[in-house]
A and B are shown apart, each in its own frame.
Chain A
Amino acid sequence: MFPLIVAHIFVLIVIASVAFHFWSPWWWTPVASNWGGMDDTILLTFWVTGVVFIAVCLFMAYCIWRYRYQKDRKAEYKPEDKKLEFHLTWLTTLGVIVMLAPGLVVWHKYVTVPEDALNVEVVAYQWGWKYRLPGEDDILGKTEIKFINDENPFGLNLKDPNGKDDILVDSGDLHLQIDKPVKLLLRSLDVLHNFYVPQFRGKMDMVPGHVTYYWLTPIRTGDFEVLCAEFCGVGHYAMRGRVFVDEEKNYNQWLAQQITFEKMLAQNKIDNKSLKLVKNIE
């Protein structure tokens, strides 16, 4: 009796898991970038691994019941079965290749940034976000931590002429234009952070001392939350920002309202110290 119950419980675990997978309300948010390929790889992995999980568990449940202890049963004595082991090995290898190969193709796309992508710098600090876009010259000016001060919160190199027309967005909100690829250049002023928008799928740590990157093309308009996905101290969970994906017209409107580095410098000279160097969330 007990083996029968145990076998049934194992079968139930499988059924419950599969049912949960298909009918629970928790699933990913609809994708808002070109990285739907990641979702597809997940689905493919789900199918392959799901079959393995179900097969192993059901086989086990069957054995529990079928080969339950009986006084006069003799277990089989068979130390090895070369043929079976060989077949299982290549079958597994095949399964692995089926999952890995498409994965690597998507990864290749992820790390190959299209030529025409717009460079957008995301600056992370404890605990907030700000952004910098290139001006008309399409080039972002050089920066360094040591240049950061009240008048120059982004730490741009004053000697680099390319920086003068850079557009500085000193608030947590970023706007992107729909269907235009962007390369996010990720920079941190202090510790590790990670610029993560669940609907975009992409992720990459920001590492002080390096500029890291990833790219994406927004495919639907909307208002999305930015989350920090790399632990960065006590304010980590509250380090949020927003990204708005706009149609071209709205995007340009927003862009026109932002100020350039040159203008900011001039303004800061006038009412000095109106900007705080690093904002702390209270």
Chain B
Amino acid sequence: MSDEFDKKIEAKADTIVDAGSVPSGSAPGIDYVPAHEKPDQELYHSHSWWTTYVFSQDAKYIGIQYAITAIGTGLIGLVLSWMMRLQLAFPGLGILEPSAYYQFITMHGMIMVIYLLTALFLGGFGNLLIPLMCGARDMAFPYLNMVSYWAFLLAVLILLSSFFVPGGPTGAGWTLYPPQAITSGTPGSSAGIVLMLISLCVFVAGFTMGGLNYIITMLQSRARGMTLMRLPLTCWGIFTATVLALLAFPALLVGCIMMTLDNLLGTSFFMPAMISMGEKLSYDGGSPLLFQHLFWFFGHPEVYIIALPAFGIISDLISVHARKNIFGYRMMVWAIVGIGALSFFVWAHHMYVSGMTPWFGYFFATTTLIIAVPTAIKVYNWVLTLWRGNIHLTLPMLFALAFIVTFVNGGLTGIFLGNVTVDVPLSDTYFVVAHFHMVMGIAPILVVFGAIYHWFPLITGRMLHEGIGRIHFWVTFLGSYAIYFPMHYQGFVGVPRRYFEIYDSPYITTSTLHLNVFITIAALIVGAAQLLFLFNLIYSARAGEKAEKNPWKANSLEWLTPEMPPGHGNFGKELPVVYRWAYDFNVPGADKDYIPQTVPPSEVRYAKVEKT
């Protein structure tokens, strides 16, 4: 068996070396690329409409399925946020009951973090871009990949079904802290919370199938010559995020299972002796803090599961649209990996005032602020990439610039909260709400938009409408900055988060309430702008201007497929051979301002490239 396989490899490798490394009879020496280590992937070919578009095993379709499902769910999260904002600004109108308010923040938070952003970055962009950028025909395990999507859809449906069960969805807050999550003072503490926990378990199972695929594909199916250090940073971001997710989600999974047992079978993993509604409950001896540790051991890396793909994507957008190599590529890779590793040692910064032993504060404050260093380096490298570039202010570039502003802002307020002493007055106030929305809500969403404007032609063959796009950009960017920047100051005043109504209290001035009205109006305007974006997507997909091939003149492989949009198997008969990194822009001596990854050195003899 193994003998036969080895022979196959040899035979294959021979033919490829002959065909690939000596293009048009030029020098074999400088164009040498090691042979493939494994045979070309045998693809599944669909024969019916159902297997092509619905039960698709093609990563590109699966990516789009993921993206549409995630964005659809995200829109529900957005609508919930309008209701919450209306309630906060106009408590007199009686728009929501307190229980509905708490159910909405919970569903909004969970939807945005898990079912929108995690699913979109990893499931959506991961599936779409990994095989294409690595130069692979598809994911390593296409069937598993398909199952991953259907598991995700099932998780979404279970989550949404909780709106229709008696008692409604859980109102425990997205952190689902016990004992409150499963006792009767919290809305949805019977059916709602169980559905939430089951949905999360299904999500984790589905994600694991997808996640293994992303990692193995990136490690095993790269094109000839595509060394790890030639991968676009988008791949590095998604890769590291996936590793984090595979290590972090199990903590969430066991937490969910244990809480389900506490709820349904009456075990006491997280439940101490307590009273609820005047009754002593039968629980005894469990620890609510144990859940918090499990939750945040997942929850903190989760922040980076969203942030790292965003970091990667934004690096590529900046480089392509500033026509300049990303500054300090190797440092960027190490920063991504370093941030990923460190992110497992900071989780308890969410628990400074949780009642855990206060001595942990020293350790976790130190590790948290250490993460600030590689993160800051990434920011420097983005702006240094702009320096002496040739900046096209295209829509993806505009979103990238806006990302930097919001990310720097949100990252710096993170230093406030990470510095344990400063966290004491600010934790659980609107400062926290403002901080995490800026850094893991707005900033990644801006990356999502930038990425969609950038890769839309790859998916549809058409450009998104520029004029509508600009309106969408300015309203979204300036609007969301106007929502969240002032909100920090409500936190300084001391307004606690998760408050259905703030009231006119002695500690606040009435003007704090007026600020709420302003924020709500801004939120509604930003929300409305997203309808414009949806319109743009639908309109441009049908009637948009036709895109030329490789419209942004990028170097990475996804733009170098024989057809655009790429067909089944991505790269036609021959897989691409890679000779350089994805960032050879404006190389001195080259006649064009970009050198795609597949151009062999012999074709650009006079370009003074640095070896990658």
Any B CB within 8 A of the CB of A255? no
Contact residue among B286, B393, B427, B502 (Cβ-Cβ distance under 8 Å from A64): B393
Minimum Cβ distance to chain A for residue B589 (Å): 9
Indicate the member of A110, A127, A223, A229 with the most B CB atoms within 10 Å. Answer: A229
Contact residue among B98, B369, B401, B493 (Cβ-Cβ distance under 8 Å from A29): B493
Minimum Cβ distance to chain B for residue A281 (Å): 11
Chain A residue numbers with a CB within 8 Å of B427 are 203, 229
Contact, CB under 8 Å: A190 / B369 = no
Question: Which residues of B from 560 to 584 have beta carbons under 8 Å from A?
Answer: 583
Minimum Cβ distance to chain A for residue B546 (Å): 23
Contact, CB under 8 Å: B388 / A26 = no
Question: Which residues of B from 173 to 215 have beta carbons under 8 Å from A?
Answer: 173, 177, 179-180, 183, 185-187
Contact, CB under 8 Å: B354 / A209 = no
Among B416-424, B448-456, B537-545, which stretch is in contact with chain A? B416-424
Chain A residue numbers with a CB within 8 Å of B486 are 20, 24, 26
Question: Which residues of B from 385 to 426 have beta carbons under 8 Å from A?
Answer: 386-393, 398, 401, 404-405, 408-409, 412-413, 415-416, 419-422, 424-426
Among A75-83, A168-176, A245-253, A265-273, which stretch is in contact with chain B? A75-83
Residue of B nearest to A200 (CB): B425
Any B CB within 8 A of the CB of A184? no
A89 to B376, CA, bound (A): 8
Any B CB within 8 A of the CB of A277? yes
Among B29-37, B140-148, B272-280, B551-559, which stretch is in contact with chain A? B272-280
Counting chain B residues whose Cβ lies within 8 A of the other chain, the interface size class is 35 or more
Chain A residue numbers with a CB within 8 Å of B373 are 89, 92-93, 96
Contact, CB under 8 Å: A235 / B185 = yes
Whether A77 touches B494, Cβ cut-off 8 Å, given contacts A24-B486, A60-B404, is: no
Minimum Cβ distance to chain A for residue B409 (Å): 6
Indicate the member of A70, A84, A85, A224 with the most B CB atoms within 10 Å. Answer: A85
Residue of B nearest to A106 (CB): B421
Any A CB within 8 A of the CB of B383? yes
Contact, CB under 8 Å: B425 / A10 = no
Chain A residue numbers with a CB within 8 Å of B354 are 205, 207
Minimum Cβ distance to chain A for residue B167 (Å): 12
A128 to B502, CA, bound (A): 16
Contact, CB under 8 Å: B274 / A191 = yes
Counting chain A residues whose Cβ lies within 8 A of the other chain, the interface size class is 35 or more
Contact, CB under 8 Å: A103 / B372 = no
Residue of A nearest to B183 (CB): A191
Any B CB within 8 A of the CB of A234? yes
Indicate the member of A106, A125, A236 with the most B CB atoms within 10 Å. Answer: A236
Minimum Cβ distance to chain B for residue A3 (Å): 6
Any A CB within 8 A of the CB of B41? no
Contact, CB under 8 Å: B369 / A63 = no
Any A CB within 8 A of the CB of B219? no
Chain A residue numbers with a CB within 8 Å of B490 are 26
A2 to B392, CA, bound (A): 10
A24 to B482, CA, bound (A): 14
Contact, CB under 8 Å: B275 / A89 = no
Question: Which residues of A from 9 to 66 have beta carbons under 8 Å from B?
Answer: 9-10, 13, 17, 20, 24-29, 35, 37-39, 41-42, 45, 49, 52-53, 56-57, 59-60, 63-64
Any A CB within 8 A of the CB of B548? no
Minimum Cβ distance to chain A for residue B480 (Å): 12
Chain B residue numbers with a CB within 8 Å of A78 are 325, 327, 388
Among B14-22, B238-246, B503-511, which stretch is in contact with chain A? B503-511
Chain A residue numbers with a CB within 8 Å of B324 are 75-77
A148 to B57, CA, bound (A): 61
How would residues 79 to 102 of chain A score, 1 for a CB under 8 Å from any chain B CB and 0 otherwise?
Answer: 111001100110011001001100
Any A CB within 8 A of the CB of B250? no
A216 to B422, CA, bound (A): 16
A39 to B393, CA, bound (A): 41
- Going nearest first, the 10 A-B pairs with the smallest beta carbon separation are A209-B272, A198-B494, A233-B185, A191-B180, A212-B355, A76-B388, A26-B489, A49-B412, A111-B358, A63-B386
Q: Which residues of B contact A (CB under 8 A)?
A: 98-99, 102, 171-173, 177, 179-180, 183, 185-187, 272-278, 280, 285-289, 322-325, 327-331, 353-355, 358-359, 361-362, 365-366, 369-370, 372-373, 376-377, 379-381, 383-384, 386-393, 398, 401, 404-405, 408-409, 412-413, 415-416, 419-422, 424-429, 478, 481, 485-486, 489-490, 492-494, 496, 498-502, 505-507, 509, 511-512, 515, 583, 585-588, 593, 608, 610, 612
Known: A3-B393, A38-B421, A69-B391. 16 other contacts (CB 8 A): A26-B490, A26-B493, A45-B415, A67-B390, A68-B393, A78-B325, A85-B381, A89-B373, A100-B366, A126-B185, A148-B280, A204-B353, A207-B354, A227-B505, A231-B180, A236-B102
17 A-B pairs, CB-CB below 8 angstroms?
A: A10-B401, A10-B405, A13-B481, A27-B489, A38-B422, A38-B424, A77-B325, A77-B587, A79-B325, A79-B583, A99-B415, A103-B422, A192-B288, A194-B428, A207-B288, A229-B429, A233-B186
